[in-house]
Structure 1
Amino acid sequence: MMLHLTTCADDLDIAVNLLRAGKLVALPTETVYGLAADATSAGAVRAIFHAKGRPADHPLIVHIAAAEQLPVWADQVPEAAWRLASAFWPGPLTLVLPVAPAVSPLLTGGQATIALRVPAHPVFQAVLRRFGRGLAAPSANPFGRISPTTAAHVQRHLAGRIAAVVDGGPCPVGIESTIVDLSGDQPRILRPGAITIGDLARYLTRVEASAMAAPRVPGTLASHYAPRTPCYRIPPDLPEAPFAGQRLGLLATRPVNWPVAKFWPMSANPEDYARVLYSTLHQADASDCDVLLIALPPDEPAWTAVHDRIRRATRSLLMEAGRVGH
């Protein structure tokens, strides 16, 4: 049985005691709900992989209470890391750094780097302060599926697999953190998020949006964040309905000129769109639609993170041309 905890002090103490006992507890962050476990316990970390069905070589993000704890987990912290931490922590930024020798390879997928973040959500911060150690916390969902942005999403998909979820309400950012690799000569964005390349450029002399020869990091597989219902990305101006005879569900910033069974209107503002993307996909996946379609938003820098999540959650309609009806 999974406990549904509130954010009151007594319930947070229960959550901390469960974590100290090596149990898994889903906690809200500003991005998505994380599946937290004691990052210093091999058994607790292994339990994350088992509960999610996550490959053992896929690294975890370790959440810490403050930037001052970086040297506990990272070796030779570069000056750029301190700059970014001062600017964006607590917040939706993950830094990839050379791993400290004492850190378990279970957290790094056997790599020489570790991913670290200071979350801004007050509930996660309160648990970290009470717990006193780092918490490994990937998204609290089965591996590769839609990330959870409410406690109800966690309950629906992980009930019976974890000890508890702390209900902190909907996540205000709604997509995963920006990941920046600082382990090499050149800072690189490995996963886009709410903190953009323009934001980072104010604190770095140079930054690239490239994952070539980069460490493996969470959420960068070609297929990820995907609903169970077949889901396709389409041009916003597609003139005719694809998949003739199917019940179509559509996520788009404006209606189309062909019939759909269900339409979920999306915001024309990229931050608002990102905030509700996963929650809308959860609704659509639970509907009676046979196929889900996402009309692509504008191809502009402000939409980079949204495009990344859509691309990983969907298949291209053009790749399925043989199945398209007119």
Structure 2
Amino acid sequence: MDTKYIEVDKNVDNLNTYPQIIDAAKRLKQNEVVAFPTETVYGLGGNAKSDDAVRKIFEAKGRPSDNPLIIHISELEQIHEFVDAVPEKARTLMKTFWPGPLTIIFQKKEGVLSEIATAGLSTVAIRMPEHPVALALIQASGLPIAAPSANRSGRPSPTTAEHVWEDLNGRVSAIVDAGPTGIGVESTVLDCTGELPQILRPGGVTKEQIEAEIGIVKVDPALTNQEEAPKSPGMKYTHYAPDAPLFLVKGGREYIQQLISDKKNEGFRVGVLTTEENRAYYTSDFVQVCGRRSQLETVASGLYDALRSFNKADVEIIFSEVFENKGVGVAIMNRLLKAAGHKVITEA
């Protein structure tokens, strides 16, 4: 299929009446799939009420259909169309973090959304994105939009329209380009269907921020134990991986450089993922900076673009520094561990 590339200025007033947005919304109404920006990553959207549209999402991504999708809305009031009840703690979080990078899981209303979108579960994951183009597109379509990240399954998530084009040109109806995303890692997923809310995926809203609003929350054991089966949308299978094998290194710069040198001596083309503070230290075939260690939000924003850059550099093995496992660092380390297939080298 021909994929239309649609450029949109996100600063235009009344975006929901903008011709380019109307064009993209029309495609959604026709049960086609459209990639669009959110504040986290680019999403691949389709009509969440249509089995046909949702199937096209899975086909475009090459994603297993037993993975539920997140449903995106543009107005708080829309929530009542899709869920049985809104728990008080969820209501508090919605007031604080919506629109924003927090996905909340509710008990769903039966017979409203595509069973394929919810993978036949009794629950539904919903969020309201904090991006003017995403909100305008949802509003103009008049639909709830099911949208995973707009990449081929297993590859790093896209933070620019160019990333989407690399993965999905010819597989989707249109790509809406409104520039790079901001946060860079996906939304936090919080299950509010139990007595104690549980984080199923770390993301743009931290555990500390959530607990400041509603008190103690649990964390899915699968986030720290790979033997556990993850419960969150998008976390069940290997994700975010560059083409070359990636190893996380818990050790100092000298140790990482020794690993690089050893592999170069064996004839490998070696890449290293580092931060601005350490970029001048390493001697390697390809040194990629993902942000500043002193400002982890910049690492989150630059992580997926950095991982994708190794494919173009044609490296054969990649070593990566690790990050503090707190705040947004939890999301960063979660994505890096998934990208590395939990391959970690620890300095003795």
- Please give the TM-score of this superposition, normalised by the length of structure 2: 0.87
The correspondence of residues 247-286 of structure 1 with structure 2, limited to 5 A, is 247-253=269-275, 254-255=278-279, 259-265=283-289, 266-268=291-293, 269-286=295-312
CA distance in 2, matches of 1:234, 1:93: 30
CA deviation after TM superposition for structure 1 residue 223, in Å: 2.2
CA distance in 1, matches of 2:49, 2:90: 23
Deviation string for 1:165-220 (max 9, x for gaps)?
00010000001000000011110111111211111012213211224699832232
CA distance in 2, matches of 1:171, 1:57: 28
Where does the alignment leave 5 or more consecutive residues of structure 2 unmatched?
10-17, 223-227
Q: What letter matches 1:203 in structure 2?
A: E
Q: Tell me: CA distance 1:187–1:316, structure 2 relative to 1, closer, same or farther (3 Å).
A: closer
Paired residue for 1:324? Answer: none
Q: Tell me: CA distance 1:40–1:298, structure 2 relative to 1, closer, same or farther (3 Å).
A: same
Paired residue for 1:223? Answer: 238
The counterpart of 1:291, out of the listed 317, 320, 325, is: 317
CA distance in 1, matches of 2:59, 2:104: 25
Q: Note the aligned Cα RMSD (angstroms).
A: 1.9
Contact persistence 2:220–2:230 (CA under 8 A): no
CA distance in 2, matches of 1:161, 1:222: 21
The correspondence of residues 62-141 of structure 1 with structure 2, limited to 5 A, is 62-102=71-111, 103-141=113-151
Where does the alignment leave 5 or more consecutive residues of structure 1 unmatched?
322-326
User: What is the DSSP-based 3-state SS (H/G/I as helix, E as strand, rest coil) of the residue aligned with 1:107?
Assistant: coil
CA deviation after TM superposition for structure 1 residue 235, in Å: 2.1
Q: What letter matches 2:81 in structure 1?
A: V
CA distance in 2, matches of 1:70, 1:86: 13
The counterpart of 1:241, out of the listed 250, 259, 271, is: 259
CA deviation after TM superposition for structure 1 residue 11, in Å: 1.0
CA distance in 2, matches of 1:297, 1:211: 20
Q: What letter matches 1:227 in structure 2?
A: P
Q: Tell me: CA distance 1:214–1:63, structure 2 relative to 1, closer, same or farther (3 Å).
A: farther
| Number of residue pairs aligned between Structure 1 and Structure 2 | 320
Q: Tell me: CA distance 1:258–1:124, structure 2 relative to 1, closer, same or farther (3 Å).
A: closer
CA distance in 2, matches of 1:224, 1:147: 8
Q: Tell me: CA distance 1:121–1:139, structure 2 relative to 1, closer, same or farther (3 Å).
A: same
Contact persistence 1:188–1:211 (CA under 8 A): no
CA distance in 2, matches of 1:300, 1:112: 32
CA distance in 1, matches of 2:196, 2:21: 40
Paired residue for 2:49? Answer: 40
Q: Tell me: CA distance 1:307–1:96, structure 2 relative to 1, closer, same or farther (3 Å).
A: same
> Alignment identity in percent?
37
- Please give the TM-score of this superposition, normalised by the length of structure 1: 0.93
Contact persistence 1:233–1:315 (CA under 8 A): no
Q: What letter matches 2:250 in structure 1?
A: P
Q: Tell me: CA distance 1:312–1:19, structure 2 relative to 1, closer, same or farther (3 Å).
A: same
CA deviation after TM superposition for structure 1 residue 75, in Å: 1.4
Contact persistence 1:39–1:136 (CA under 8 A): yes
CA distance in 2, matches of 1:86, 1:174: 23
CA distance in 1, matches of 2:235, 2:172: 25
The correspondence of residues 141-220 of structure 1 with structure 2, limited to 5 A, is 141-211=151-221, 216-220=231-235
